Structure 1
Amino acid sequence: MKRILVTRFSAMGDVAMVASVLQEFVQQHPEVQIIMLSRKFFAPFFAEIPQVRFHAIEPDGKHKGFAGMFKLFQELKTQQIDAVANLHDNIRSNILSFYFKCIGIPVRKIDKGRAEKKALTRPKNKIKKQLKLTTERYADVFRSLGFPLSLSHQLKKQERPLPAAARAFFQEGIPVLGIAPFAQHPYKVFAKARMEAVFAYFQGQPIRFIIFGGGASEKAIAESWEQQFPQVSSSIGKFNLTEELQLISHLNLMLSMDSSGMHMASLVGTRSLSIWGATHPYAGFLGYGQQDSDCIQVEHPARPSSVYGNKPCLCDGVEAIDLVTAEQVIEKIKISLIV
């Protein structure tokens, strides 16, 4: 079998998108084995994909710095790599790619479309148009290595084993909606009061909400919602990443910010509604197989301000994410779940 080394170290949503692409790739190329290089935490994204062998990078440990990257190269060199697909194009992945080029291994890297994205997000004279999807940019790297790849961009529903601790979340005839309300940057987070208004509207109706994603502070918020709203349960801190994917595979629907929750839903074939503020689906980061019609957003000439949501995006003095109302979200959930 030919072996392709695939590199993508972060962020969580970007790595999940790689897994969605590899699910399609291995079906079309059973003669190829993938060596997936990423952080150990992300290994569960690839555990269910045949022909994929995971190799962990430890950038803060034994693979730190130039010496560490050379040590990583030596580890990988023994695996008889035939080609390198650099899906990250950062300093570490480029250093590693250079080492493989030096021994004659073909390397191709992603075209991130930086100029197009800069034009989309600049404050004035924006060029607002749909850019190539990130998953297609990943696929282009494999195509440039001589491996044809046709992406279906369709959700393929998986039902993985349900963790025993999650069985109480599910009752016959009651739809279960996952909520991933948090994000790395505050400009991508739906206001807490508005999220509570959504929960309050559905109180007493046959629907259940499960909160996903976050650290200690987000866990505290989710637990306060549990106490306030009987239909809300928190999964934060209760499940590992493998179990979270298993749980998401059983959801009727996910509601996420422009964040990893949407991409995890895509990986297991679960439909996701998504809320967008400072960012925009035009940048190409819509979840694999998700639909533009499921994006909840308010168009404004100032949007988007950034690709990753790390900058404020004021729209007539209002932050872009705050243009989205609780009523819009409620209506979208009602239509989607036919509640």
Structure 2
Amino acid sequence: MNTKISGLYLYNVQHPKFILARFSSIGDIVMAAPVVQALRSHFGVEAQIDFITLNKFKGAAQLISGIDTIYTVEKRAIEIAPQLKSNGYNYLVDLHSNIRSRALARALKIDTLRVKKQNNKRLALVLGLNKKPIENFVDRSLKTLESLSVSYDSKNPWGVINCSKPSHEIPEKYISVAAGATYEGKQIPQQILEEVIDSLDNQFVIVGGSDMEKIGSSLEKKSPNKVTNLCGAINLSETAYVMTNCKVALGGDTGAMHIATAVGAKLVSVWGCTRPSLGLAPWKANPKSLILEPQNRGNKPCSRHGDKCRYKRLGASLCITDISSECIVDAIKSLLK
């Protein structure tokens, strides 16, 4: 059985078993936390809530409290399908809706609650054929539970995000900066970060993966008395700790942005070739958080993932460079008051 179903079957199950599937990437996996929290809040500790993802993104799933077991695969979900089938799940909650997750659904042969990805509508936004913002991915994910009469936990929508204190020394008061992004269209340029750091009399902690070590090191070298570089030095759980305890979090449209949102940090998110209208804006963010978008590049996102910039193809700079360091500094100052 598949798609929308009646919740009557579930009430005949004494201890319902769920397997949630989201294989990538960091931010999208973190955005599954409200779904886990909704299920756990509704069905209690008796329910079994497991999660499957790719090996390289296990750390993101480990941030989410309320998960009983995390299963990982290197590439194909059917690698582990026999083991999952033996667990006797009642429902697959498919939060990816791709070839891999659909193959898993066919292998498990259980009721599947599948998120609507809205790819066509997202593409229409990029092409200018649609101007209506896409519903947030978290809200779409939570809608998969409607047939079970499950809604999000309004008192604690994100649940508890698992954090661990880094062994590295960090300042008592600081601004956290997520230096990296998958594509340059979503990454705050190093020069702008340098200008922001120079303009503020605050300590900064730079976080990111090993691919951002060079940028983090450069920022620390330029401002050694103000910058602590932790790029490539801490894991996601420790990154969540940094975000939890910062005065303000700064970053682009990245996984770190969603971690900062999940832990309730006051966030300044800087958008470039992607836009919040694509349905991936911070969900239930700290109410003081601010979103900065390019002012002189129209309302259309250039691409769904930030890998293309229509203005750069015409010889101009990336959209994200349209947001000046002065604008970012003013936003941070307003949140520090």
TM-score under structure 1 length normalisation: 0.85
Please tell me the residue identity of whatever aligns with 1:219: E
Q: Would you say how many aligned residue pairs link Structure 1 and Structure 2?
A: 316
RMSD: 2.4
The 1-side partners of 2:19 and 2:160 are apart by: 27
The match for 1:143 among 142, 146, 160 is 146
The 1-side partners of 2:42 and 2:278 are apart by: 27
The 2-side partners of 1:71 and 1:40 are apart by: 12
> How far apart are residue 150 of structure 1 and its match?
2.8
Please tell me the residue identity of whatever aligns with 1:249: T
On the 8 A contact 1:162/1:250 being kept in 2, the answer is no
CA 1:164–1:313: 2 relative to 1, 3 Å: same
> How far apart are residue 336 of structure 1 and its match?
0.8
Please tell me the residue identity of whatever aligns with 1:201: S
The 1-side partners of 2:327 and 2:47 are apart by: 45
CA 1:337–1:181: 2 relative to 1, 3 Å: same
Q: Which residue of 1 aligns with 2:300?
A: 303
TM-score under structure 2 length normalisation: 0.85
The 2-side partners of 1:41 and 1:210 are apart by: 24
The match for 2:85 among 39, 55, 77 is 77
On the 8 A contact 2:63/2:162 being kept in 1, the answer is no
On the 8 A contact 1:159/1:250 being kept in 2, the answer is no
> How far apart are residue 36 of structure 1 and its match?
0.6
- Structure 2 gap ranges (5+): 1-14
> How far apart are residue 278 of structure 1 and its match?
0.6
Give the share of equivalent positions with the same residue, in percent: 23
> How far apart are residue 247 of structure 1 and its match?
2.4
Any runs of at least 4 consecutive aligned residues in structure 1 with deviations exceeding 3 A, and if so which? 40-51, 151-161, 315-318
Q: Secondary structure at the match of 1:119?
A: helix
After superposition, give the CA deviation of every residue in 1:227-285 in whole Å (9 maximum; x if it has no partner): 21121111112212222222222112210100011111123222221000111101110
- Structure 1 gap ranges (5+): none
**1:1-339 mapped onto 2 (5 Å cutoff):** 1-30=15-44, 31-47=46-62, 49=64, 51-60=66-75, 64=76, 69-101=77-109, 105-122=110-127, 125-144=128-147, 146-150=148-152, 152=154, 160-165=163-168, 168-171=169-172, 175-202=173-200, 205=201, 207-216=202-211, 218-229=212-223, 230-290=225-285, 294-299=290-295, 300-301=297-298, 303-314=300-311, 317-338=316-337
The 2-side partners of 1:286 and 1:197 are apart by: 25
CA 1:49–1:159: 2 relative to 1, 3 Å: closer
On the 8 A contact 2:64/2:162 being kept in 1, the answer is no
The 2-side partners of 1:264 and 1:49 are apart by: 10
> How far apart are residue 161 of structure 1 and its match?
4.9
> How far apart are residue 94 of structure 1 and its match?
0.5
CA 1:160–1:112: 2 relative to 1, 3 Å: closer
On the 8 A contact 2:179/2:188 being kept in 1, the answer is yes
CA 1:40–1:246: 2 relative to 1, 3 Å: farther
The 2-side partners of 1:208 and 1:155 are apart by: 28
Please tell me the residue identity of whatever aligns with 1:5: I
The 2-side partners of 1:276 and 1:39 are apart by: 27
The 2-side partners of 1:322 and 1:238 are apart by: 28
The 2-side partners of 1:3 and 1:333 are apart by: 44
On the 8 A contact 1:187/1:277 being kept in 2, the answer is yes
On the 8 A contact 2:137/2:279 being kept in 1, the answer is yes
Please tell me the residue identity of whatever aligns with 1:98: R
> How far apart are residue 159 of structure 1 and its match?
9.1
> How far apart are residue 16 of structure 1 and its match?
0.9
The 10-residue stretch of structure 1 (327-336 or 244-253) with the greater mean CA deviation from structure 2? 244-253
On the 8 A contact 1:157/1:269 being kept in 2, the answer is no
The 10-residue stretch of structure 1 (325-334 or 229-238) with the greater mean CA deviation from structure 2? 229-238
The 1-side partners of 2:163 and 2:289 are apart by: 27
